[in-house]
Amino acid sequence: MSNPSTIKSALESCTYRNGTVHCPNKKLLASLLVAKWQMTDGEWTHWTVIDCPLLPAGQVDCERL
């Protein structure tokens, strides 16, 4: 089993958001889950789509937000 302090540290270094947006490729509304991760103090990655109901499971081909 994973160390609880390691899991807590990993969760504190990422941010998740969800919301409904209009997908220009499919021309439909999509409820997206996006995330960004902390690389160093004060520096974060770009928002990245990690789940989209308009695409097959595990496939995400959206551009970064």
What residue ranges of the chain have pLDDT lower than 50? Answer: 1, 64-65
Report yes or no on whether pTM surpasses 0.85: no
Write out the residue range of the structural domain in which residue 39 sits. 4-51
- Within-domain flag for 60: no
Q: Does residue 12 sit within a domain?
A: yes
> Would 59 be classed as within a structural domain?
no
CB proximity list for 60: less than 8 A, separation 6 or greater: 49, 50, 51, 52
Residue 39, in any domain of the structure: yes
CB 52 within 8 A of CB 60: yes
- Please indicate, yes or no, if residue 35 is contained in any of the structural domains: yes
Count: domains in the chain: 1
